[in-house]
Structure 1
Amino acid sequence: MSDRARAGTVKHITSTQNPVIKAAKALQQRKARAESGLFLAEGHKLIVDALDEGWPPEMIIALEPKSDEEGVTKLAARVRAQGGDVIFTNIPVMEKLARRDNPQTVIGVFEQRFAPLETMTKGTVVALEGPRDPGNVGTIIRTADAVGASGLILIGAATDPFGVETVRATMGSIFHVPIARTDLARFSSFAVDFPGRIVGTHLNGTVDLRDVPAAEPQMLLMGTEQSGLTEAAASVCDPLVKIAMAGKADSLNLAVATAVALYELRRPFLP
């Protein structure tokens, strides 16, 4: 971590073999993220969102600006003022870090933050049991942000919310939505004392989602992409609901189903 009592440094690095670049690239792997407690976020907007949210980066790696049309110089000054380091580099390094052609002009290295499970008791909380697809989880975080949900709980063997694909799919909402993680046993104990309704979607649900009265605090509990909620998770829900469908499809993508349910449950609280 950077020493936040000092202004950050500025360096110019053009080699993909530089130790700083190699360490940043390693954050594409879950093991390195777990060991370091850091993660990558790509794009000028995401870094501005993080700064606005009081979540300054440890470091940014930016394409050496030929002009400041993208505001990189101003962004770098803002990062340095909050103790973050600035690395100016070239296109080959940025492509290596982003693992794709035409990468963003700036990539941030951030400290991971997880909220305590016990804080997830207000407003509308989203809980996901064992989601594996990073795009789904990132999209759900973005949707939770859009509807004003108060937080997200990841249960069991869930994908890493700070993985590159997940963060990319959040479009900056990773910095706005508190995230807690836990195992099923601890979640089940937490659910017993949860102060509001826990709504779970289930193939055997008997209550139409549209008939659930709006009230907060409330929790929406969703299962895995393949098999939905386990029996243990379903047992903490009251009610188990179904999403009405008129066509021949018998299920929805997890992110889509979560979005439909969230907008329905949050309808009275939306502007």
Structure 2
Amino acid sequence: MRHAQIESTSNARVKEWAGLLEKKHRDRQGKYMVEGVHLVQEALRSGADVECVAYDMARGVPAELAQDARSSSTDWIAVSAAIVSKCTEARTPQPVFAVVRKSSAKLANVLEAANGLVAVLDGVQDPGNVGTIIRAADAAGAAGVLIGRGCADIYNPKTVRSTMGSLFHLPIVEGDLTELLPQAREASAKIVSTSLQARQNCYEADYRGATWFVFGSEGGGVSPEVEAFVDETIIIPMPGRAESLNVAMAASVLLFEAVRQRLN
């Protein structure tokens, strides 16, 4: 553990941290921010590339992170409450935040899993939905998540919070789905999406082999460009009066139906 202390909000390093609240600066720096004890702990214990941890000097290192602070080789920086407020988005400032370098996961990391279960996001724009799908994929033991163009930034603070730490647990690959999905097909993966026009019930399909579920935008569904690569469309039966499910709910239903099949 290397100690440092910063008190001024005009410090150059603090300005860089504050910039990470905006996507253009996250992209330029190749870094993002995680806020709060739980997420910082998950980042450290999952082996994420943590550049530094900053904590409120008046409150000290949170008790839950004391062991991590002793065993970690990263920089731990005591900062003023004004710096915490400037660099974090939560209405109630957290006592600690970390700066993390973005993941370098590649498609090969996802493809190497035998009979891999993968969540593919096509134009899912709500940060909460993106984060929740990542969390569901992690819980389902998925081999990874693909994030296509038009999706919410996975490093948006809202998205990061919604993952509840799952962001650090599995490969997440961003890119053009029209380039990535053909490689999945070559690796014998079955590409599946939902459709209100589909005739096959989602509980009748077989997800025991390599299965890549494509989840489209909240309003328009899967784009025509991506739909061209879909092998099978299914429908989630809804005997109630709701017209549709939230995309994160639909993702959870399908991912855990695949889990159920694989456990039998």
Please confirm whether the aligned pair reaches a TM-score higher than 0.5, indicating the same fold: yes
Q: Structure 2 length as normaliser, TM-score?
A: 0.91
Structure 1 counterpart of 2:101:
111
| 8 Å contact from structure 2 (residues 190, 210) kept in 1 | yes
- Shift, 1:203, TM fit: 2.2
The 5-angstrom pairing of residues 12-51 of structure 1 reads: 12-51=5-44
Structure 1 counterpart of 2:84:
94
| 8 Å contact from structure 1 (residues 65, 72) kept in 2 | no
| 8 Å contact from structure 2 (residues 59, 95) kept in 1 | no
- Shift, 1:57, TM fit: 1.1
Distance 1:144 1:93, change over 3 A: same
Counterpart residue type for residue 196 of structure 1: A
- Shift, 1:150, TM fit: 1.0
Query: Structure 1 stretches (4+) deviating beyond 4 angstroms?
Result: 65-69
Structure 2 counterpart of 1:162:
155
Percent sequence identity is 32
Distance 2:195 2:124 in 1: 15
Distance 1:15 1:73 in 2: 25
Superposed CA deviations along residues 170-225 of structure 1, whole A, max 9, x for unmatched, are 11111002111121331343243141321111222221101112312111111111
Distance 1:214 1:33, change over 3 A: same
Structure 2 counterpart of 1:228:
221
Distance 1:17 1:270, change over 3 A: farther
Distance 1:208 1:90, change over 3 A: same
The 5-angstrom pairing of residues 65-144 of structure 1 reads: 66=59, 70-79=63-72, 82=73, 84-121=74-111, 122=113, 123-144=116-137
Distance 1:162 1:34 in 2: 10
Structure 1 counterpart of 2:179:
186
Unaligned runs of 5+ in 1: 1-7
Q: How many residue pairs are counted as aligned between the two chains?
A: 261
* Mean Cα deviation higher: 142-151 or 212-221: 212-221
- Shift, 1:73, TM fit: 4.2
Q: Superposition RMSD on alpha carbons, in Å? A: 2.0
| Residues 1:261 and 2:254 are matched in the alignment | yes
- What SS class does the counterpart of residue 54 from structure 1 fall into? coil
| 8 Å contact from structure 2 (residues 109, 171) kept in 1 | no
Unaligned runs of 5+ in 2: none
Distance 2:60 2:175 in 1: 46
Counterpart residue type for residue 148 of structure 2: I
